[in-house]
Every structure is written in structure tokens, then in C-alpha cells.
Amino acid sequence: MTDSTPTPSSLVIEGASEDVEKTPHPVQDNTRSPSDTEETALRVTDGTVYLKGLQLHSVTVAVALAIFLTNLEIPIVTTALISITNDLQGFNNVNWIITSYLLGYVGVVILWAKFSDHFGRKLSILASLAIFTVFSAACGGSQTMTQLIVFRAFQGLGGGGNFALGTIFLVELVPPEKYPLYTTIMSVILSMSLLLGPILGGVISEHSTWRWIFFLNIPAGSLAIVLAFLFIPLNFPYQGQPAYENRRWRTLFSKAEFKNIDFLGAGLLLIATLFLVSAIQEGGVDYAWKSGFEISFLIIAGIGWISFLLWERKITLFSKTTEPVFPWRLIKSRVWMGMIGNAFFLGGPWFVTVFQLPQRFQVVNDVSPLQAGIRLVPFTLACPLGSIISAVAAGKYKVPPIYMVIFASVMQIIGFSLISTLPTTAHTRAAEYGYQIIAGFGVGINISLLIMMTPFCVEARDKSVALGSVTQFRIMGGLIGLAVVSAVSRNTVSSDLKRFLTEDQIKLILQSTGSINLFTPSLQQEIRNVFANGYNLQFKILLGFSAAQIPSSLLMWQKKQILL
């Protein structure tokens, strides 16, 4: 089944495939819109029918819950990591609590998007919500670190679907001229999750058990499932179109539909992603970079990526039935590859900051999880604020997004340069919060703009895959960035601690940073100084990720810039 609706783009993207359909950009209709009582859906000139009234609002709430819960999992867990690892005894594996979730997440985002083209948006988001909710309960009931890490990976599978499909829903629920409005809604959702996450994680860790961090997803996830089941049309987003009116549940799993699915491409993408991220995560930690484990994983990842690209090229150019997971025509587009590069290098600054700053506050500044969450608020508030302001500027005032994308990268460079100079003492300067705002504002601008620009850069049939790709490569960049900075910092910290601690003492600290308080005050300060230098080094590395966004943005440059 191929999406035949016209692309909203009014531009011919330089470097894109030649068969991009050239249709005029939708013009805002200033005539009176029908009221909710007059009709339940709005039909526009290209044949698309958009939901209205209670149905639209209910689906929006379901999608908002899916995005909110998925993104809440990132900051709410980070502020509780110390409590979790102290309970389960495994600070040395602390990053796997995050990484396992994101590994499950990053490996399937594009696949969820593509499979939803085949099996329908409704069935796909119901499945992703169910997986996320069930394994959230399993995470809350974990008794060992290994159990938690495994269940987090499966929770991430559902989370990846929630975010990928939620993003697709937001641009299919409304006409293109309302994209900025709905992107603003998504930014508000992100702001709430990023703002509440650290605080909720801190409150729960201090006043209850960390297990409620996961149990909270059960009632909210169940509500989203009920709303999605009741109000999303089975043939969404093609409701009201004659070609899709006879679609039924059984037709979603027909033999003809399965013939269209690129199972080999999906498998190659999953293998290539997981082996690459796993190799980088484990490098220099449990396995030396020259070890057989690392070399074999990197070789498999390299072969996987090369095979994936070659296979997708073959399917795109020569297959008349199978639809590629990642169409080759996207790779041929200079503009689109610039967006993918920008998304990839954006992931590191975003994820490292959200994951590592709360740890820094607890380890270096010796504050509680709640206080750590509160201290992260300037960054988590600045991110969505940047997203909202950039969405308004691009949508209402028609500022070309490319200008703001480059400006945001410069802001990130400035912000992370300043954060990397934080004092190594327990004392906190007020200026630190200003540094977070600068960096967060830059990150937030690019988070929203890349999503908003996507439907205007690709053919309509590639819209879902393109939106999934932006998310997948951003998360992949975040995972790789987190693995790189953690490996470098861990090696630096371990090496510096050897100057005045024994191997057993270092092992004790790496199992639980709460054991730092067992040492004398003078040793405590020295240990915290070492960790502070390690965290500062991490943010210096982020400068490279921020700077790399600029050449990626320049690939998106055109004589006639995209306007939303």
C-alpha cells in the first residue's frame, strides 16, 4: 500500500529525487470553518479528511500521553539512578539502565513508522502502548540489575513506537498549515515531561520506592490505549477516502500485505544499529577496544550498515512489490542527509545533558535526587521554550528554519563551553543555571525545527519513514554520544582515583557513589573533584557534537529556503 496523497512542499528540493511531486503549498483558508455540530470531519481539496470535534481531541490526548510517557522515562529515571543502583548494587552498570531502554528504542523507530504504513497507524500505536505499559510494570517489579536492564530494553521497544507514531500522528491529524500549532503542542508536551521528570524522580526516590517511577506508567498508559482504541479510525489517516473504506482488521494481515514488507531490510537495520551502539557502549568498560568482542561487534555493525544500504538501493530501484524500509531516494537528497546529520549530532548534547547533569549534582555537589532534579529545570525548561519560540517564528513570522537551525548550533557551542568550566567544588554558582539555559535553548530549537521541516522535504509516501528517521538518528546520536563521553570520563576517573585510593575502594565507589560519604571529609572532597573533572570533560566532548551540526546544516542550504 502506497501513500498517494500529495506532498505539502511547494519547493523542489535540491538533490532530491526527480520524481518528487510538485504541488502548491496549501494556502490558509480564512473562510468560516464548519462547527463541530455541523460535521465531524473536515474535507479539504486534495481528498484528505481530517478529524474534528471530540474525536480529534480524544486522539490528540492519546497521542500526547504516548509522547509524554515515553519522554518522561528519560529524565524521571536519571534523577533516580543513584537510588536504583544503591538498592540493586550496580553503579558500574548505571548507564545500562538508560542504554538498554534506548537500545530497544533506537533499533525500532524507523521500523515502527514503516510497519504502520502496512498494518495501519491504529494497530501500531495500540501495540506500542501495550508493550510500553506491560514492561513498565515489569521494570517496577525487577529484583536484580539484570532483570531491570532486560525489561528496560523491552520497554524501550514500546517507547520507540510511541514516539515515532506519536510524531506521525501529530502531522497527520491536521492540515499542513497547522503544523506549527501542533509542533508547539508537542513542544509543550516535551516541556512538561522534561520539567516534571527530574522533580518526580527526585520526589519518588526520597519519599517512596523508585519502583513507582515505572508503576506510574500503568494507569496513564492504559488510558491512552482506551482512547486510541475507541477514537482512532481503523483506516487512519485515510478515513473518508473510497480506496480505504473497505479496510478491515483481517485485511491488515493479508498475504499481499506481507509481500510488500521489507523484512530483510528491517532485520539488517536492527542488527546494524544494535551491534554498533553495543560495541561503543562496552568499549573500554567491560571489554578492551582491541578485544575480540569489540572487534567482532564493530565488524558485524559495519557489514550490517553496508548491506542495509545496498539492499535498500536494490529494493528502491528494482522491486515492484516490496516497499523499502529506508528508500534510497532519501539518501540521494543532499538536503535530507543534512537533516539526518543534524539530528544525529543533536542527540549527544541533548541526552548527555539530561542524563549526566543530575548525576553530577548528586555526586559532586552531594545533593538529594529531588534537589538534582530541580537544578536541572533551567535546561529542561529552556529546551521546550526554544522549540515553541522557533515554531512560532517559522510558522507565524515565516522565518526560514535554516537560519534558526544554524543559530541554535552556535548557542549550543557557547552553552556547553560554559558548562564545561563548572567548578570542581561542591559550591554552586548562580551562573551555572544561565549556562544551562543557553545550551537548552539551542538544543530545543533544533528538536522542533527538524520535525517541522520533514514533511516539506520529502515525498508524501516517505513522510512516516522520514519522521521516524529523524527520531531514530537523533536517539542513535544520543546513545553514541552518551557511550563516548561515559567511556572517556570513566577511564579518566578510574585513573585519577588510583592516585590516592586502593582498587577495592575504587570498586566500592563505582558500585555505589553513596559510599563516598564513608571516607574522611578531605578524601571525600578529593574524590568529588575527580568526578567533577570527569563530568567537565564530558561537556567538552559535546562541543564537537554541537559544532558538527553546522556543516550538516549547510548541506540543507538552498537558493530558495524552505518556508513553513
What SS3 class is residue 212? helix
pLDDT tens for the 564 residues of the chain, in order: 444 333 333 333 333 333 333 333 333 333 333 444 334 444 444 567 788 889 999 999 999 999 899 888 877 887 777 778 777 766 666 667 877 887 777 778 888 888 888 888 899 999 999 999 999 999 998 888 888 888 998 999 999 899 889 888 888 888 877 777 787 777 778 767 877 877 888 788 778 888 888 999 999 999 999 999 999 988 888 877 776 666 666 666 666 667 777 888 888 988 888 888 788 777 766 677 788 888 999 999 999 999 999 999 998 888 877 888 888 888 888 888 899 999 999 999 988 898 888 888 888 888 887 788 788 889 988 888 888 888 888 878 888 989 999 999 999 999 999 999 988 877 778 888 999 999 999 998 988 888 888 888 888 788 888 888 888 888 888 888 888 888 788 888 888 888 888 888 888 887 677 788 888 888 888 999 999 999 999 999 999 999 999 999 999 888 888 777
Give dist(CA 411, CA 407) in Å, integer: 6
Treating both helix axes as pointing N-terminal to C-terminal, what angle do 53-78 and 217-231 enclose, rounded to 10 degrees? 160
Contact 53, 36 (CB under 8 A): yes
Q: Are 384 and 188 in contact (CB under 8 A)?
A: yes
User: In angstroms, how far is CA 500 from the centroid of its own chain?
Assistant: 40
Long-range pairs for 274-278: beta carbons < 8 A, 24 or more residues apart: 274/103, 274/107, 275/300, 275/301, 275/304, 276/301, 276/304, 276/305, 276/480, 277/99, 277/102, 277/103, 277/106, 277/476, 277/479, 277/480, 277/483, 278/103
**Cα separation of 181 and 198, whole Å?**
27
